[in-house]
A and B are shown apart, each in its own frame.
Chain A
């Protein structure tokens, strides 16, 4: 049954195209999965999301004009799925005033607060206080527009040009999102340090 159609209405690929799809797309599974873990924060959600990405990609495969672009194309599909899933229910932090954000400097705050007065490696000691999960949570809290480019850069080392392609925006936008994404990350780490009493409590 089904007359050559996939279960969700997309045209099923002929065996040759299906094999080509697998040969091109499956070698990128580790990348797709890793990005999915970082975008969702959960290995279980990431597995589902990776599977959904490949199902969707297979259905759309005949529309992929440049096979060498398969990796950014898979990221694009994954991103759209994440956006659809998380629309509405979000734990994102607010961006706040952009000019203020651009001026935010974790370096200066650490220097001025001096949380480890006897340290000669103040900034390194500050960073060493965070465990891996806290850093991942801070990244997860970035608003979506900043989270995806920063994670693609950090996890997959995409170039600005590739990022522009995945995000569908000019390189200049990629540049400002990466700048502001990192500033929000700095701000989140500072907030986390305050919550943990790493700063202020050290001051007399």
Chain B
């Protein structure tokens, strides 16, 4: 017997990023979680989305502050 799914895979996919960003709550969160419990394909896609996010994040986080920039900005503020 096939059970009626309250959420389609396409609907689920639209919520993945909000889910990863912890921005889903209440009914939307429940609906997605119950879809994920039944849908392995979506679990795999979600895992890839998470992987891609981490992959991109680690490539943009590193940008060390030039050591004298703060001092140069203070001086510019003095001159303004």
Contacts and interface: CB of A to CB of B under 8 A. Distances in A.
Interface of A: 6-8, 10, 12, 18, 22, 26, 29-30, 33-34, 37-38, 43, 46-47, 50-51, 54-55, 58-59, 102-103, 105-108, 123-124, 127, 132, 135-136, 139, 151, 153-155, 159-160, 171, 175, 178-179, 182, 185-186
B5 interface: no
A127 B51 contact: yes
Interface residues of B, number: 32
B79 A7 contact: yes
Contact of A51 (B55, B59, B72): B72
B66 interface: yes
B69 A151 contact: no
A137 to B, nearest CB: 10
A59 B51 contact: no
Contacts of A43: 63, 66
Given A33-B69, A55-B76, A102-B14, A154 B51 contact: no
A12 B55 CA distance: 44
B73 A26 contact: yes
Main secondary structure of the interface of A (DSSP, over half): helix
Main secondary structure of the interface of B (DSSP, over half): helix
Most buried by A among B48, B51, B53: B48
A155 B56 CA distance: 10
Given A51-B72, A151-B60, A175-B17, 7 more contacts: A29-B69, A105-B13, A135-B59, A136-B59, A139-B56, A154-B60, A179-B17
Contact of A182 (B52, B61, B74): B52
Most buried by A among B66, B72, B76, B77: B77
Interface string B43-62: 01100110111011101110
A6 B69 contact: no
B65 interface: yes
A54 B76 contact: yes
A153 B60 CA distance: 11
B69 A123 contact: no
